[in-house]
C-alpha cells in the first residue's frame, strides 16, 4: 500500500483543472469548505481528509472521463482545491513545544 504522499505525487489530471484549483487555494477555508465537501461536522486530520478527498476526486474524475451528464467541473475543482490545500498542510512540519 502506498503512503499518502506517494499517492498525491502520482495523481495526474488535466493542466487546466490543476491550474484552476491552484488559483482557488488562497480562498480555501478549511472549516467551511471541508465540512461542505465531506458532509461532516467533524473536521478530520489533514491525512484523513486527504484520503477521503482522493476518493471523492476519483469519483469526479471518472465522471469526467466517461462523459457522465451529472459531472460538474465546478464541484471537481472545489474538491481539487481542498485536496491540494490539505496536501500542503501535510507537508508542513509539526511544531512541538
Q: Which residues contact 88 (CB under 8 A, 6 or more apart)?
A: 25
- pLDDT at residue 97, as a whole number: 58
Q: Is 39 left (phi over 0), alpha (psi -120 to 50) or beta?
A: left
* pLDDT for the residue numbered 1: 44
pLDDT (tens digit, 9 = 90+) per residue, 2-38? 577 777 778 889 999 999 999 999 999 999 999 999 9
- The three-point CA angle 7-90-31 to 5° equals 110
pTM of the entire structure? Answer: 0.87
Q: How far, in Å, CA of 71 to CA of 85, rounded? A: 22
Amino acid at each position: 500500500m502506498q503512503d499518502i504522499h506517494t499517492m498525491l505525487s502520482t495523481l495526474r489530471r488535466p493542466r487546466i483543472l490543476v491550474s484552476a484549483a491552484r488559483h482557488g487555494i488562497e480562498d480555501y477555508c478549511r472549516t467551511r469548505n471541508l465540512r461542505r465537501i465531506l458532509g461532516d461536522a467533524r473536521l478530520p486530520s489533514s491525512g484523513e481528509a486527504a484520503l477521503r478527498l482522493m476518493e471523492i476526486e476519483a469519483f469526479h474524475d471518472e465522471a469526467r472521463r466517461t462523459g457522465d451528464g451529472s459531472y460538474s467541473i465546478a464541484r471537481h475543482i472545489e474538491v481539487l482545491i481542498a485536496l491540494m490545500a490539505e496536501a500542503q498542510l501535510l507537508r508542513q512540519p509539526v511544531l512541538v513545544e
